[in-house]
């Protein structure tokens, strides 16, 4: 009796074979493709995108730009989307990569983190987080990032990825994590010197972390994040755990999402709800001494912060916001809002309240709008007893207030939302006065959204 050849996977219908492969890891599928010509054709020359789309959907979040209303639409090639992500693993685990390979890896990491933030803001979960955690835990990415000299190529790119990953640096028993934290702590005085340098808050950079051409100065953003996050680490008790979530997820609670708090259909920025805000500042006498005297090899030398007598205050504030029509704004003119040409994401105006630990409460109002780079710009003004005391600006827009109101506004702030619109990581920036005099005070802030039922344990620590 003549024996029959046993059936192989190639005797199955192509659709069934691809469905089986879709349950495999992409690297295993790549190995399978090298077994014979038929396998290569099945994987890399398919008649449709089913296999690559399923492989991507199993291991990564849907790319943000597909469902993001203000993102540029184009045909998606799922094979490219997946292989571009896997190239990061090649760069990190099979290096050393070339300069261009490293740039590609960091650009793609930023995209993956923003995809993750978008997915979390919509559903409360993200497939990218598990992959990111593996990358950060099993590679020397963080240690290498904090070892790169500031004079290296692509300083804005490196600063941006460090800003996105700063809150993932934790201290545990591994020598690698200890080394990474030591490198981050070694940047603290330099970051303070940059943030509290009054020369970095001027008209040319819109009084915030921006370039003269209007782009985001990610070096400035990174220094802001370093100052605030390292201050949070030193807070006593449970306050050290009260901080914005990292790109790897929250510590003890779920992210605020549409599932946990319904929002208005037109609230594309997720404005409505409860927020927390850290504000940091130096004693004004220290700020003046740092900027205008020769103390500690000054002026403006990082050595100034080595003095054991130096103190930096950190204040935690609660903010609650709700949307209002344009015409209800008291401290902002309508032309500022109509400058945004984004039809799908029009400027949103809001009002609300702000509360600090000392019992001071303020009424707040402001607006949020989208820039050409897809980054949300926020502006927030706080009014105490009818007088505007604080104005927060995310990607700052200089406000032309009526003459009758100019003397009422005392403080303004500028910053950038990290991780994309609705990113749980929140908003960081710089506050200063609206007069913008040479010796006006400055300081960093961090604003992020929380669940409405989050415990209120406001504080001020020096």
Domain boundaries, the chain: 9-59, 139-332+346-389+399-461
What does the pLDDT read at residue 397? Answer: 33
Please name which of 438, 410, 392 lies closest in space to residue 208, comparing C-alpha atoms: 392
What's the pLDDT at 143?
Answer: 82
Say what percent of the chain tops pLDDT 70: 81
Q: What integer best gives the mean pLDDT of the chain?
A: 82
**pLDDT at site 326:** 84
Helix (H) / strand (E) element for 450: namely strand 442-450
Q: State mean pLDDT over 83-107.
A: 86
Decide which of 252 and 212 is more confident.
Answer: 212
Report, as an integer, the average pLDDT of 438-447: 86
pLDDT tens for 160-205 read 999 999 888 875 555 667 888 888 889 999 999 999 999 998 888 8
The pLDDT score that the predictor gives to residue 60 is: 94
Three-state DSSP class for 236? coil
pLDDT in tens, 348-357: 899 999 888 8
Residue 409 predicted with pLDDT over 60: no
Terminal Cα-to-Cα distance of the chain (whole angstroms): 90
According to CATH, what is the number of the domain 9-59? 1.20.1280
**Residue 252, pLDDT score:** 39
pLDDT in the model for residue 49: 94
Query: What CA–CA distance (Å, rounded) separates 286 from 305?
Result: 10
Give the mean model confidence (pLDDT) for residues 255-267.
Answer: 57
Task: Using alpha carbons, select from 159, 231, 222, 158 the residue that is nearest to residue 429.
Answer: 222
Q: 369 pairs with which residues across the strands?
A: 377
Helix or strand holding residue 461 (H, E): strand 459-461
pLDDT at residue 44 in the model: 94
Mean pLDDT, residues 1-11 taken together: 66
Higher local confidence (pLDDT), 147 or 34 = 34
Alpha-carbon distance of 436 to 9, in angstroms, equals 71
């Amino acid at each position: 009796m003549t024996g029959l050849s046993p059936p192989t996977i190639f005797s199955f219908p192509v659709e069934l074979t691809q469905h089986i492969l879709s349950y495999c890891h992409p690297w295993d599928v790549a190995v399978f493709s090298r077994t014979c010509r038929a396998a290569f054709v099945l994987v890399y020359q398919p008649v449709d995108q089913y296999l690559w789309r399923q492989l991507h959907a199993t291991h990564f979040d849907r790319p943000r730009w597909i469902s993001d209303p203000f993102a540029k639409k184009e045909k998606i090639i799922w094979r490219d989307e997946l292989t571009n992500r896997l190239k990061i693993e090649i760069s990190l685990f099979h290096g050393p990569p070339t300069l261009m390979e490293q740039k590609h890896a960091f650009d793609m990491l930023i995209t993956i983190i923003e995809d993750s933030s978008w997915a979390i803001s919509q559903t409360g979960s993200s497939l990218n987080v598990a992959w990111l955690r593996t990358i950060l835990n099993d590679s020397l990415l963080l240690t290498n990032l904090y070892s790169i000299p500031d004079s290296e190529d692509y300083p804005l790119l490196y600063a941006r990825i460090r800003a996105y990953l700063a809150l993932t640096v934790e201290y545990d028993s591994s020598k690698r994590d200890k080394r990474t934290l030591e490198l981050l702590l070694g940047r603290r005085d330099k970051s303070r010197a940059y943030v509290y340098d009054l020369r970095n808050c001027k008209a040319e950079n819109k009084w915030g972390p921006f370039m003269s051409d209007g782009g985001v100065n990610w070096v400035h953003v990174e220094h802001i994040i370093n100052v605030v996050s390292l201050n949070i680490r030193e807070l006593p008790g449970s306050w050290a755990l009260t901080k914005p979530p990292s790109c790897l997820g929250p510590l003890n609670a779920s992210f605020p999402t549409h599932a946990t708090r319904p929002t208005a259909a037109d609230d594309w920025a997720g404005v409505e709800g409860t927020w927390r805000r850290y504000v940091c500042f130096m004693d004004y006498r220290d700020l003046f001494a740092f900027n205008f005297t020769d103390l500690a090899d000054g002026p403006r030398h990082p050595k100034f912060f080595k003095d054991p007598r130096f103190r930096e205050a950190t204040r935690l504030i609660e903010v609650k916001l709700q949307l209002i029509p344009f015409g209800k704004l008291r401290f902002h003119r309508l032309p500022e809002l109509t400058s945004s040409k984004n039809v799908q994401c029009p400027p949103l105006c809001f009002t609300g309240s702000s509360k600090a630990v000392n019992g001071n409460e303020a009424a707040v109002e402001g607006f949020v709008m989208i820039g050409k780079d897809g980054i949300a710009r926020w502006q927030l003004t706080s009014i105490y007893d009818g007088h505007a005391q604080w104005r927060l600006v995310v990607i700052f827009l200089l406000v032309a207030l009526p003459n009758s109101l100019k003397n009422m506004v005392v403080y303004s702030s500028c910053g950038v939302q990290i991780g994309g619109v609705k990113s749980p990581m929140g908003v960081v920036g710089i506050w200063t006065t609206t007069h913008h005099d040479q010796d006006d005070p400055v300081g960093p802030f961090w604003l992020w959204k929380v669940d409405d039922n989050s415990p209120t344990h406001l504080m001020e620590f020096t």
